[in-house]
Structure formats: structure tokens, C-alpha cells
Chain A
Amino acid sequence: MKILEAENICKNYDGIQIIDNFSLSLDAGDRLALLGASGEGKTSLLNILLGISACDGGEILKDEHLHYLVVFQEDRLFLSFGALENMDVYPYRFQKKEALDILAELGLDVSPDKPAREYSGGMKRRLAMARALYGCILLHKMKPGEPLLLVMDEPFKGLDSSLHEKVIRYVAQVLSDTGAALLLVTHNEKEATALGCGLLKLKK
């Protein structure tokens, strides 16, 4: 079942073409990694696919029931709030136990009241990831059968090497459990292969 299709996407910035006729098709449960060096338009492309940035040409079609769960390049956290309140962004009743389990799996054993402002860079990254993974698990439970797409933009940047593998394993487990598709933006091919992604290299 197709969940997202992009055809001939083009994007210019100040007269420079950064995305030129890009096409993509994702089925439910697919895992795809967009690889490329910095400045090759990966994040711009992602924003266009998410519908939060306009393209200069081309068309995007998505399943009407598709749910996006996103880990942005920046963490985009509520800095004055604790971990649980940062995860409670979905239009359903908050499932505290599931949220705490995810935090534990990602090695975020902090007081839930500690504001995100006081987290280290790596902890903020893991919290941003926890929010998206919690969304996957929650929506899989609340809206069974509806397609999920986990979008992650450089999610493992800044993570301690000791946690790196553990986090990747957990992301892979959530993807398998929920049947969510994955669109990963990275410049690290190893991460992409560890998550079982097909590779799509972007070139200028």
C-alpha cells in the first residue's frame, strides 16, 4: 500500500537549484535513508515531504490517514517542561507507563519534572526521539491499521557511543512492532544499514 509519493520535486534558493526533479515512493513499512553531505538539500526535501515547506515544482501525494512522527534536525522541545510533558503532544490520553518505558529504553532516567532546558545535548536528542517513538506506539494502539511514517533527521547526532547501538536497536524494534515506515536523513551509511534502510544518495 502506497503511503507517500513525490514526483519531480524541485526547489530553488536564491536562484540556486538545490533539489532537481526528485521522486520517491514509499509503501507501508518501507525503510529508506536519504544520504548526502551537508548542504545537499536533505532537510529542505524532508520539510517539503512533510508539507511544512513549499516546493517550486512537482507534486506530493499521501495516504489520507498517514500519521507523521518526526524527529527534526533541531530538537524542538518545550524547554520549560519535563520529559513526560514533552512527549504528551498527541491528541489522545497520555499513556504514562508507555512513555516511561520508552525513556528507560533510551537511557533517559531523569526526574520527569526536570525541565528539558537543563538537559545535555545528547539527552535533548533522545527526548526528541522518545516523543516520536511514543507517537508510533500510541498511534499504532489508538489507530490500528492506519499507516505511520517515522521521519528522522540526523537522529543519532551527538549521542554517546555507548548508547548509539542501544538506541538504534530500540528504534528498529519499535518499527517492527508498529509496522511504521521509516524515512531517515543521515550522512552515516552505517546507521542506515543498521536500521535496515534502503539507501538513496542525494547529489547536487
Chain B
Amino acid sequence: MNKVTPHLLHHSASKKEQFLTRFISIFLWLAVWGIAAKIIDRELFLPGPVSVFSALLMLTRTRGYWLSIFNSMSNILIGYTAAFFTGTLLSAISYKLRAVREFISLPLRVIRTVPVASFIILALLWISSERLALLISFLMVLPIIYENLLDGLLSIDCGLLEMAYLAKTPVSKKLRRIYLPALLPHLTAALSTGIGLAWKSGVAAEVIGISRSSIGNHLNQSKIYLETPKLFAWTITIIIISVFFEWVVRLGLKKLS
């Protein structure tokens, strides 16, 4: 007779375990980065973590750093929020009207497939470079919100809608018990993917459009003057802000669910 031992396919880590694993992996990657910088030994190509973090510390002491963050953040977040509302509205209309769904799907597919650089250059002809990041982040996030929410709406159990129709369930109860539970997973995916994309495309727009007092412009300046540690410092800034907003979005949605 053999003893039966449980074969667990899903191992759930505790919070402490998760934190420790994350901390160790960050530390290991920083070590890899430091070793690589030491081997290359040229700050121009790959500055080490120490010089990058001291460049970041220097930047945080300047007013321009915070002003640029504010400008980029306001443009990108306005674009992101506008994309959320427009995408939600369009997906609701498309859900109700099949003809509208067909009509909208073509331009949105075009937006998804056309390279972001083409849009940035084209948009520069229409609007000032100061508002370019807003328009580009809006355009990049809109299809993601729209398609995810439409998928969520189309996945709603028709049986529940029929039940609610016969019971004459009020809209508020239908929203809370049928629509929201069906949409939340799709909304979480759309909003957390969207925020990262909004930052990536928004900053790319600022780099190409040379928007004044913006993160993208500072990235560009660092490249022109070969200030690689600063370039890395600005990149780290973007990562921190993007990760922070992704966390805020996930937390908000978690509270909602």
C-alpha cells in the first residue's frame, strides 16, 4: 500500500512570502544591472544604479522635475479619463445597436493597428505639441476600453436579463447585480492595461512632439546631451508613476467589487 500525498497544483503564497519574493527579485535585478554596468564600464552606454539614483535624487530637488511630471500627468490622465468615458459610452451604444457596432469597429481597428508614431506625426499637424500627449493617450486607450467593455456586455447571461425583465427589476438593481459583476473583470483588464499604455504612448508623443516642460521633452534633452544617467532617471520616474497609477486603478476596482 502506498501513502496518498496530496498533489496541489495551486500553491497560494502568503503576503509575507510575496513581499519577500518581490524584494529579492528586485535586489537581484539591481545586482545584475550593477554588474553589467561594471563590466561595460562606460556611463554613456550603461550607467550603474548608483549614478542613476543619484541623478534621480538631483532631479527631484529641481522645480522643473515636478512641473514636468505635473504637465505630463495632467495631459495623460485627462486623455485616459476621456478614453474611459468615451469607450464606455460607445460600448453601451454598440451593445444596444448592432449597426453602430459594425460602424465603429472599423475606425477602432485602424487606431489599434496604425503605429503610434504615425498618429503622433499626423496629430502634430492638427494640434499644438502641448496637448499632443492628451490626444495620443486618448486614442491609444479608447479601443482597449471599448473592446473590453463590449466583450463584457456581450458575455452577460441572457437568462439573467430575461429574469430581470419579467420581474421588472429596476435599472439600479440590474446595474449592481447583473452588469457590474459581468463587467468588472473586463474593466479591470482594460483600465490596468490602458494606464500603462497611456503613459507609454503619451511620453512617446511628448518626445516626438517636443512638448515643453514635459517628461518626454526631458528624455529627449537627455538623449541629445548624452546624459544617460538622467535618461535612466526619467525612465524610472515614468515607471514609478505608471506602476503607481496601475495600483490605484486596481485598488479602486477591488473596492468596487
Residues of A whose CB lies within 8 Å of any CB of B are 50, 52, 67-70, 72, 74, 76, 78, 80-81, 85, 88-91, 135
Q: Kindly state the separation between the CA atoms of A74 and B160 in the bound complex, as whole angstroms.
A: 10
Interface residue B162 (Cβ < 8 Å from any Cβ of A) = yes
Distance from B256 Cβ to chain A, minimum over Cβ atoms (Å): 13
Q: Contacts A78-B177, A78-B178, A78-B181: A89 and B159 contacting too (C-beta < 8 A)?
A: no
Q: Report B-chain residues with C-beta under 8 Å of the C-beta of A80.
A: 181
Instruction: Assess whether A85 is in contact with B177, with CB atoms less than 8 Å apart.
Output: yes
Interface residues of B in 153-176 (CB under 8 A from A): 157, 159-160, 162-170, 173
Q: Kindly state the separation between the CA atoms of A80 and B162 in the bound complex, as whole angstroms.
A: 18
Distance from A17 Cβ to chain B, minimum over Cβ atoms (Å): 24
Q: Contacts A78-B177, A78-B178, A78-B181: A89 and B162 contacting too (C-beta < 8 A)?
A: no
Instruction: Assess whether B181 is in contact with A52, with CB atoms less than 8 Å apart.
Output: no
How many residues belonging to B are interface residues under a CB distance threshold of 8 Å? 16
Distance from B213 Cβ to chain A, minimum over Cβ atoms (Å): 46
- Residue among B159, B177, B178 making CB contact with A72, cutoff 8 Å: B159
Distance from A61 Cβ to chain B, minimum over Cβ atoms (Å): 17
- Residue among B160, B166, B169, B181 making CB contact with A70, cutoff 8 Å: B166
Q: Kindly state the separation between the CA atoms of A156 and B249 in the bound complex, as whole angstroms.
A: 45
Instruction: Assess whether A91 is in contact with B165, with CB atoms less than 8 Å apart.
Output: no
Contacts across chains A and B counted by CB atoms under 8 Å: 41
- Residue among A50, A88, A91 making CB contact with B168, cutoff 8 Å: A91
Q: Nearest residue in B to A85 (C-beta to C-beta)? A: B177
Please name 30 pairs of A and B residues whose Cβ atoms are closer than 8 Å in the assembled complex, sorted by A.
A50-B166, A52-B165, A52-B166, A67-B168, A68-B166, A68-B167, A69-B167, A70-B166, A70-B167, A72-B159, A72-B162, A72-B163, A76-B157, A76-B159, A76-B162, A78-B160, A78-B177, A78-B178, A78-B181, A81-B177, A88-B173, A89-B163, A89-B164, A89-B167, A89-B169, A89-B177, A90-B168, A91-B168, A91-B170, A135-B167
Q: Report A-chain residues with C-beta under 8 Å of the C-beta of B167.
A: 68-70, 89-90, 135
Q: Kindly state the separation between the CA atoms of A135 and B169 in the bound complex, as whole angstroms.
A: 11
Q: Kindly state the separation between the CA atoms of A81 and B181 in the bound complex, as whole angstroms.
A: 10
Q: Kindly state the separation between the CA atoms of A76 and B165 in the bound complex, as whole angstroms.
A: 12
Q: Report A-chain residues with C-beta under 8 Å of the C-beta of B163.
A: 70, 72, 76, 89
Q: Kindly state the separation between the CA atoms of A87 and B169 in the bound complex, as whole angstroms.
A: 11
Q: Kindly state the separation between the CA atoms of A70 and B168 in the bound complex, as whole angstroms.
A: 12
Q: Report B-chain residues with C-beta under 8 Å of the C-beta of A69.
A: 167
Q: Kindly state the separation between the CA atoms of A85 and B181 in the bound complex, as whole angstroms.
A: 13
Distance from A63 Cβ to chain B, minimum over Cβ atoms (Å): 15
Distance from A73 Cβ to chain B, minimum over Cβ atoms (Å): 10
Distance from B169 Cβ to chain A, minimum over Cβ atoms (Å): 5
Q: Report B-chain residues with C-beta under 8 Å of the C-beta of A74.
A: 159
Instruction: Assess whether A52 is in contact with B162, with CB atoms less than 8 Å apart.
Output: yes
Q: Nearest residue in A to B167 (C-beta to C-beta)? A: A89
Q: Report B-chain residues with C-beta under 8 Å of the C-beta of A81.
A: 177
Q: Contacts A78-B178, A78-B181, A80-B181: A90 and B169 contacting too (C-beta < 8 A)?
A: yes
Q: Kindly state the separation between the CA atoms of A69 and B157 in the bound complex, as whole angstroms.
A: 19
Q: Nearest residue in B to A77 (C-beta to C-beta)? A: B160
